[in-house]
Structure 1
Amino acid sequence: MSLFAYLLRYSRGPFLLAIAAGIVSGGTGAAFIAMVNLALAADAAPSQRLIWGYVALCLATLVTKFVSQSMLYRLSQGAVYHLRRRLIDGILDAPLRTVERTGTAQLYSALADDVVVIADALPGLPGICSGAAFVLVAIAYLVIVSPAVALATGATVVVGVLLYLLVSASGLGALKAARREQDALFGHFRSVTEGLKELKLNRERRAALIDGELTATASAYRRHSVFGLSVYEGATGGGQAVFFAFIGLLLFAFPAWFALSDQTLTSCVLILLFAVSSLQGVLVWFPALGRASVALGKIKERLAELDAGLGGPGAGRAPAVPNSRVPAAVGRAGNVFAGWRSIAFRGVSHVYPGPKGEQFVLGPLDFEFRRGEILFVVGANGSGKTTLAKVLTSLYEPESGAIQVDGTQVTAANREDYRNLFSAVFSDFHLFDSLLGLPAGEQAAKAQRYLERLQLDHKVRVDGDRFSTTALSLGQRKRLALLVTYLEDRPFCLFDEWAADQDPVFKDFFYRELLPELRDRDKAVVVISHDDRYFDAADRLVRLDYGQIREEEVPRGQSVAGRSGVESGC
């Protein structure tokens, strides 16, 4: 079973110890039967040895069961953390394109549900081992009581197990189908939460999503789940029925076939009744283990998808580019690119696949970005502006060509340093509720000054390293994201349609005050914009058209306003 194999790899020692404790617990439980038979068969009062043996079995059963269960509970929580951490690390390590292709709903389903399903099933493993040990010890004791009954019991166990596996196979298939529907269901849940306003305003759209797509997916998920779990229950009942039929055969047919005394017959039936009860405790966990096996398979599938992206274009290798050099030493501030002056594209191209197999090709591009200048990137929607921004920041890796920093090629070995040159506010930015990774203390005081300058101090304050609230309008949230870029103080600032949701006052502040100050602080600034009335704020202006770039003359119809002294530290 893949779940056993995973636990052996994850925590071999504790897992084997827990299983061993479960087996001992089952064996001591089965030994009670022998104790009971010895006590009943004794003509006189039970001996001291028998009494102390009974007490010892009670203590051994109690201790081993406690050890087994407590270790498995602890192991299950560790396994949950380990699986979630592997998924999170896989998401962060994989190329952005791979994560986008895998899908947010699928990854969230694995993180939120699959690991919980596995954790819920793990405590059943000691019970399974304990029950299996109980049955084996019971059969071993039957060999002493009646070899013929023991042999018949062993054959019955084999028949019951085979019947169970045969029936439950279709149940496992149904659970896999239910798990596939769950990914789609999580996608619908995301549509409900993220599209809440649109759904409230449009009854037809709401009905199409809820009564159509979501209901159909939820019904399919419920149908497969009910069928799969019911099959498992039926398999459990079938296994029990086999044993009850064997007990009936033992009661009514065996005395005619074999010379069994009443005491022997009674002992055999008592042993089998205990064994059936223990077997029921084993089988009841199999539906949970079946779901856990499906969940673990789905997690492995997600991890394989993420890992496959690490072998994609640009991962772990770099295209050969003439005259590129490897940095000799890490620069000051711990970044190999510290003190850089220019970033150059050399034949860079990137292919963006569409939902129906179509492709958008950015490039090949030969272009240079320089510190101490403001570059505007303009163009129609869909021309490749945001794709260019993601290639520039190395969130998307080029399929061909190379990016060079002062002649040093960006490779897998130095890509993390390269990415850390950038502060960016993308059009689909995420605003964290704290200054993650930014030093507290001085930064908090600086943040307060920026909050006042951005006219957010009446709504937001910084407590330690956390914002008091992020429940703001989109424009205000963008201003708060801008504040975070101030505090990051990176040498390259990128703004993707930042001013699109700002009122005229803050648009003017952004273009006429902030951008020139960033340039004067020797930062490279790239602005993706449609605000043609502010194009004159650029030092250079390039237009993207169907993935190709061309430089245009900067309009000089307006003069750039003077500085206002805003302390920017993007």
Structure 2
Amino acid sequence: MGLFGYLLRSSRRPFLLALVASVVSGGAGASFIAVVNAALGRAGDVPAWLVWTFAGLCLATVTTRFLSQNLLFRLSQGFIQRLRRRLIDGILGAPLRTVEKIGTPRLYSALSDDVVVIADALPGLPMVCFSAAFVVVCLVYMAVVSPAVALASLVATALGVAVYRLFARYGLRHLGAAREEQDRLFEHFRAITEGTKELKLDRRRREALAGDALDATAASYRRSSVVGLSVFEGAAGSGQAVFFALIGVLLFLFPLWVAMSTRTLTDSVMVLLFMVSSLQGVLTWLPVLGRASVALSKIEERLEQLESAGRENHPPVPGADFDGWRSVEFRGVTHAYPGATGEEFVLGPLDFTFRPGEVLFVVGGNGSGKTTLAKLLTGLYLPEKGAVHVDGTEITAACRDAYRAQFSAVFSDFFLFESLAGLPDTDRAEKARHYLRRLQLDHKVSIVDDRFSTTALSQGQRKRLALLTAYLADRSFYLFDEWAADQDPVFKEFFYTELLTELKERNKAVVVISHDDQYFHVADRLVRLDYGRIREEETSRGR
């Protein structure tokens, strides 16, 4: 099972210790049966050594079982943390285009559900080892009592394993199909939680998207899950049936074929009943372990997608510091988007320069490439052709983090963090309160324990908070992607005539993506994008 191999690679020592404890517990439990049979077979007084052996086996069984489960509980929590950390590092380390291609619902499904499914299955692994040791010791004991019964039990065990493997292969296929449907379910959940307002306003669309489409996906998920789990339950029932059949053979047919005393028959049947009871505990875990195998394969698939794209996070390179830069230059920068039917949208080649103390507007129609240009400029997208240079130095993987550290940005699809952690420490809270007053948010938001007291605001107000965090970052290059689109006329005027002027006076480079043509005169330069190509226009300020 892949789960065993993964745990051996990632947590070898605690996992092996837990398995050893489980094996000892299983062996002690099976030996306990032999001691009970020995005590029952004595007509007179029971010797002291037998009593002490009985007590020792009881203590060993309970102690090692507790130790095994305790180790696995600790391991499962550490496992969740490490696996999630690896996924998070993969997401943050992979190129943005790769993360966007995989999609938020799939990544969130792996982080929130798959990891928990695997962790929940870990306590079942000691039970498997316990049962295996229990069965082995029982077979050894029966070989001493009756070699014929031991041979029949061994054949029954092998047959039960073969039947389980046959069922499991089919069951895993259906659980894998259910896992694929789960990704689609998460897409529906995201649409419902983020599109609640729109769905409430449109009954037909609500019934189509949150009704028919969701129900169809949920039904498919339920159907595959039921079939997969039922197959595993069928495997469990088949395993039990094999041993029940063996007990029936021992009770009703063996005495006809093999000379066997009543005592031997009684001992054999009792051992088999204990074996069935032990196997029953394992069989209840088989569906859980099956789901865990599917979840692990899905996580490994996501990690392979993230890690095969290459990692962007590199150790800081000595001397890679762009503080005090004088120019950022695009030289033949090109980026292409593949289309669904083979066509592609190409942005570029782009050749132009950004300078400190300059306000540059980027304008153009929807789909002209403005946001892609913003991601190329900030280093979030890598040029497919051409290069970005800072003061003549080409931006490569080794210095990309240092380059990105020059930017503060508020994208059109921005995310607003409640915490101010990670922003410059000097008078952070006091500066935040100052900007709250200036942005007229101090009557709704305060700073409590280095956090915004609330982010449950209108979109325009949330953008003002995002602007506040950009100001606190105090970088040399500012980028605003349609920031003013959700602002009222008063704050549009404030943004274009006061805030941008203030940033220019502080010698910041500023790029503004905007459709507000009444404020184009504020720019030093205006760049218009048409179908991925650039046309630069001088404004009245630039003449």
**TM-score of the alignment, normalized to the shorter chain, above 0.5:** yes
Task: Give distance in 2, aligned partners of 1:416 and 1:21.
Answer: 47
Structure 1 match to 2:26? 26
Across the aligned residues of Structure 1 and Structure 2, the Cα RMSD in angstroms comes to 1.6
Q: Does the 8 A contact of 1:441 with 1:464 survive in 2? A: no
Task: Give distance in 2, aligned partners of 1:352 and 1:473.
Answer: 33
Cα shift readout 1:470-502 (whole Å, capped 9, x = no counterpart): 111111111111111111000000000111111
Deviation of the 1:282 alpha carbon: 1.2
Structure 2 match to 1:390? 375
Letter in 2 for 1:70: N
Deviation of the 1:56 alpha carbon: 0.4
Structure 1 match to 2:327? 342
Give 3-state SS (helix, strand or coil) of 1:394's partner. coil
Structure 1 match to 2:301? 301
Letter in 1 for 2:263: Q
Deviation of the 1:356 alpha carbon: 4.1
Structure 2 match to 1:321? none
Task: Provide TM-score, normalisation by structure 2.
Answer: 0.98
Matched, 1:354 2:339: yes
Structure 1 match to 2:214? 214
Structure 2 match to 1:64? 64
Structure 2 match to 1:141? 141
Letter in 2 for 1:213: A
The within-5 A match list for 1:245-394 is 245-310=245-310, 329-330=318-319, 336-394=321-379
Structure 2 match to 1:99? 99
Deviation of the 1:515 alpha carbon: 0.7
Corresponding residue to 1:450 among 421, 435, 446: 435
Letter in 2 for 1:483: L
Deviation of the 1:169 alpha carbon: 1.4
The within-5 A match list for 1:431-450 is 431-440=416-425, 442-450=427-435
Note closer, same or farther for the CA distance 1:176–1:328 as it changes in structure 2 (3 Å cut). Answer: closer
Deviation of the 1:556 alpha carbon: 5.7
Structure 2 match to 1:88? 88
Structure 2 match to 1:563? none
Give 3-state SS (helix, strand or coil) of 1:493's partner. strand
Task: Give distance in 2, aligned partners of 1:10 and 1:307.
Answer: 17
Cα shift readout 1:31-89 (whole Å, capped 9, x = no counterpart): 01111111011121111110011010011011100100000011001111111111111
Q: Does the 8 A contact of 1:440 with 1:465 survive in 2? A: no
The within-5 A match list for 1:126-275 is 126-275=126-275
Cα shift readout 1:340-374 (whole Å, capped 9, x = no counterpart): 11111111100122344431111111111111110
Matched, 1:529 2:511: no
> Percent same amino acid among aligned pairs?
66
Deviation of the 1:2 alpha carbon: 0.7
Matched, 1:485 2:445: no
Structure 1 match to 2:113? 113
Task: Give distance in 2, aligned partners of 1:440 and 1:336.
Answer: 20
Task: Give distance in 2, aligned partners of 1:154 and 1:383.
Answer: 71
Letter in 2 for 1:141: Y
Q: Does the 8 A contact of 2:317 with 2:399 survive in 1? A: no
Count of aligned residue pairs for this structure pair: 542
Structure 1 match to 2:397? 412
Give 3-state SS (helix, strand or coil) of 2:534's partner. strand
Task: Give distance in 2, aligned partners of 1:370 and 1:30.
Answer: 79
Q: Does the 8 A contact of 1:23 with 1:133 survive in 2? A: yes
Give 3-state SS (helix, strand or coil) of 1:427's partner. coil
Letter in 1 for 2:255: P
Task: Give distance in 1, aligned partners of 2:493 and 2:531.
Answer: 30
Letter in 2 for 1:385: K
Task: Give distance in 1, aligned partners of 2:257 and 2:77.
Answer: 53
Give 3-state SS (helix, strand or coil) of 1:530's partner. coil
Letter in 1 for 2:356: R
Q: Does the 8 A contact of 2:326 with 2:356 survive in 1? A: yes
Unaligned runs of at least 5 residues, structure 1: 318-326, 560-570
Unaligned runs of at least 5 residues, structure 2: none
Give 3-state SS (helix, strand or coil) of 1:413's partner. helix
Deviation of the 1:438 alpha carbon: 1.7
Structure 2 match to 1:426? 411
Deviation of the 1:337 alpha carbon: 1.2
Cα shift readout 1:293-349 (whole Å, capped 9, x = no counterpart): 0000000001111112217xxx699xxxxxxxxx9952xxxx521211111111110
Task: Give distance in 2, aligned partners of 1:339 and 1:10.
Answer: 45
Letter in 2 for 1:431: L
Structure 2 match to 1:564? none
